[in-house]
C-alpha cells in the first residue's frame, strides 16, 4: 500500500476563486470541520497553542463528533481505492484541522500506513473575524510561547 498525504489548512487563509469561494488544496477528500466540530480555541487555556500540542489534540478528540469523524476518515483511508491525499480544513487551520490531522496520522500509522503530514497554516497567527465583514480576516499577533 502506498503512503497517504494528510494536509491541514485554514479556509480563511486560502486564495479564492472568481466567485469568492475559498480554493482548498487538491485532495481525494476535503473535510470541512468548521460546522462539524466546535472551535476549541474558545477554551482560554489552549488559545495560544496549536494542534501540534497534545493538549489541543485532547480537546479536539473530546469534542462531540470528533471520534466518529476520525474513525470515518481512517476507514476511508483504508478503502481498496487507497486515496493518496486527505485535506482537513477549519477556519484558521491552527486548532481543529491541525489537531485532527495529527490524530488521523497517528491512527493510520498504528494501522501500518506510511503517512506524510503537511500543515499549511498552523504557523500563522490566529484569525479573528471582524464583526462588519466576516469574510475579511484580521490577524492577532501570537504571544510568546
- The pTM of this model reads 0.85
- What pLDDT, on a 0 to 100 scale, did the predictor assign at position 21? 93
Q: Which residues contact 80 (CB under 8 A, 6 or more apart)?
A: none
The 10s digit of each residue's pLDDT in 32-83 is 999 999 887 677 788 889 999 999 999 999 999 999 999 999 999 999 888 9
pLDDT of res. 81: 86
Rounded (10°) angle between helices 96-110 and 66-77: 50
**Rounded-to-integer distance, Cα 119 and Cα 103, Å:** 13
Please report the pLDDT score of residue 19 as a whole number.
95
pLDDT at position 72 is: 97
How many angstroms separate the CA atoms of 54 and 35, rounded?
23
The set of residues, in sequence order, having a beta carbon less than 8 Å from that of 35 and lying 6+ positions away, is: none
Task: State the Cα–Cα distance between residues 85 and 125, nearest whole angstrom.
Answer: 26
pLDDT one-digit tens code per residue, 90-143: 999 999 999 999 999 999 999 999 999 999 999 988 776 544 434 433 333 333
Q: Print burial letters for 34-57: b (CB count within 10 Å at least 16), e (below 16).
A: eebbbebbeeeebeebbbbbeebb
Q: What integer pLDDT is reported at residue 140 of this predicted model?
A: 38
Q: Are 102 and 56 in contact (CB under 8 A)?
A: no
- The domain ranges of the chain are 4-139
pLDDT tens sequence across 75-86? 999 998 889 999
Amino acid at each position: 500500500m502506498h503512503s497517504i498525504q494528510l494536509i491541514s489548512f485554514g479556509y480563511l487563509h486560502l486564495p479564492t476563486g472568481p466567485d469568492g469561494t475559498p480554493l482548498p488544496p487538491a485532495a481525494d477528500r476535503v473535510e470541512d470541520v468548521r460546522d462539524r466540530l466546535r472551535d476549541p480555541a474558545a477554551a482560554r487555556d489552549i488559545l495560544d497553542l496549536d494542534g501540534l500540542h497534545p493538549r489541543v489534540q485532547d480537546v479536539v478528540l473530546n469534542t462531540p463528533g470528533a471520534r466518529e469523524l476520525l474513525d470515518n476518515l481512517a476507514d476511508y483511508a483504508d478503502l481498496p481505492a487507497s486515496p493518496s491525499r486527505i485535506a482537513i480544513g477549519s477556519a484558521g487551520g491552527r486548532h481543529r484541522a491541525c489537531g485532527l490531522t495529527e490524530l488521523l496520522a497517528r491512527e493510520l500509522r498504528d494501522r501500518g500506513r506510511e503517512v506524510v503530514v503537511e500543515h499549511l497554516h498552523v504557523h500563522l497567527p490566529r484569525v479573528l473575524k471582524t464583526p462588519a465583514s466576516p469574510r475579511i480576516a484580521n490577524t492577532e499577533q501570537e504571544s510568546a510561547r
